[in-house]
Amino acid sequence: MKPRNLKRIAFATSLGGLVTVSVAADLAPLPQPKFNTAMAEMGRFLFFDERLSGDAGLSCATCHNPQKGWSDGLPLSKGYPASEYFRNSPTLLNSGFKKRFMWDGRLDGADMGTLVRDMITEAHTMNMDGRLMQERLKQVPEYNAMWLKFRKDDINGMRVFNVVGEFVRSVNSKNAPIDRFLKGDQGALNGTQRAGYELFKGKAGCVACHNGPLGSDGNLHRTGVPENPAVTSEPLRHITMARYYATSGLPNYMMTHDDVGFQAISKNPKDKGKFATPSIRDLKYTAPYMHNGMLKTLDEVVDFYDKGGGSGAELKPLNLGDSEKRALVAFLESLSGDPVVVDKPKLPAYKVRAFGKN
């Protein structure tokens, strides 16, 4: 095993000391999701409800569409009307298990409520005022009834974010061949896929960053994916990026025409071009790939790594043969579960509350 595939794990002993050991990093089976069923059920309605956006024109499902792998199938995400986004819309499958959210890793994976608040209130996604959202939802009798199944108070804006988050936590893939294999069913992967797994852990070195249940170390790395030219040539995307840099406080941001990734958060020039390692589950449904959708297929992804990534990457060329590349792609496909499709529910209508109860 190559030393870079080792990770250090600390655990407490029964005598109170702390022991650190090095173990080989590997993929792990997907755990069972934990969520509150009544909250997730209301969250399912809110996820599809356009009234959560300022102009009542788009919902979470607009950009995280269950029919499109819980993403939108586009290289770069759309935005709130009159804006376009400068990054790819990530899949929501299994995102409850993420250690960090967003391509630049700016949000803690443990804080789903904050993430949902940002999605709903940010000018470039749903551009919604939190108080307006609260008052809109209170005038839907069915939503009040759903709320009372898990809380005794009135619908409250801040808690609505957690309700949507609870639904997101419930969106998990099932029955991926890799999980059956990792649990001991040798036949779950065919010979080509097993060869691909050996390359993944060995010669190709993927497991150094892609490990754990999601195939993500939850860290930031520079792989040198080329810039998507649309971010500079399409004014609406460029405006969103500049506004994002202005908000995050990136020094001299008007001089920056690239997506600097984690640098916008840390403000450290050494972090330019670093992005969070994404999950590599369910890739079958989530093309195109990378933070800016620049790689269209898994063949392109493997070719990219074979060349040692792009400029400035912390990677080395792999010198894989054609059959090795095919095996690696076949293995990546075995990390996809059955399609997870949730249909848009029939949304309940507004009805003004009785006098004295608004």
What gap in Å lies between CA 70 and CA 213, rounded to an integer?
Answer: 19
Site string for ligand HEC, 127-166 (x = CB under 6 A): -------------------------------------x--
- Rg from Cα positions in the chain: 22
**Which residue in 330, 325, 333, 328 sits closest to 285, CA to CA?**
333
Are residues 112 and 118 in contact, defined by beta-carbon separation less than 8 angstroms?
Answer: no
Pick from 221, 237, 266, 285 the residue near ligand HEC by CB under 6 A: 221
Q: Cβ of residue 27: shortest distance to ligand HEC, in angstroms?
A: 12
Return the sign of the alpha-carbon dihedral for residues 145, 148, 154, 156. Answer: negative
Our finding on whether 225 is near ligand HEC (CB under 6 A) is yes
Our finding on whether 40 is near ligand HEC (CB under 6 A) is no
Our finding on whether 328 is near ligand HEC (CB under 6 A) is yes
Contacts (Cβ under 8 Å, ≥6 apart) of 268: none
Q: Looking at 33-41, 139-147, 208-216, 348-356, which segment touches ligand HEC (CB under 6 A)?
A: 208-216
* Greatest extent of the chain over all pairs of C-alpha atoms, in Å: 73
What gap in Å lies between CA 239 and CA 233, rounded to an integer?
Answer: 11
Q: Cβ of residue 349: shortest distance to ligand HEC, in angstroms?
A: 20
Our finding on whether 79 is near ligand HEC (CB under 6 A) is yes
Our finding on whether 63 is near ligand HEC (CB under 6 A) is yes
Pick from 25, 39, 92, 330 the residue near ligand HEC by CB under 6 A: 92
Q: Looking at 72-80, 170-178, 229-237, 345-353, which segment touches ligand HEC (CB under 6 A)?
A: 72-80
| Burial classification of residue 47, based on how many CB atoms lie within 10 Å of its CB (0-12 exposed, 13-18 middle, 19 or more buried) | buried
What gap in Å lies between CA 71 and CA 78, rounded to an integer?
Answer: 11
Q: Cβ of residue 101: shortest distance to ligand HEC, in angstroms?
A: 4
First-residue to last-residue Cα distance in the chain: 65
Our finding on whether 60 is near ligand HEC (CB under 6 A) is yes
What gap in Å lies between CA 141 and CA 6, rounded to an integer?
Answer: 55
Q: Which two tokens stand for residue 91?
A: 């899949």
Pick from 44, 98, 136, 201 the residue near ligand HEC by CB under 6 A: 98
Q: Cβ of residue 355: shortest distance to ligand HEC, in angstroms?
A: 32
Site string for ligand HEC, 237-256 (x = CB under 6 A): --------------------
Amino acid letter, residue 160:
V
Interface ranges with ligand HEC (CB under 6 A): 58, 60, 62-64, 77-79, 85, 87, 89-90, 92, 95, 98, 101-103, 115-116, 119-120, 125-126, 164, 168, 204-206, 208-210, 221, 223, 225, 275, 277-278, 280, 283, 286, 289-291, 301-302, 305, 314-315, 328, 332
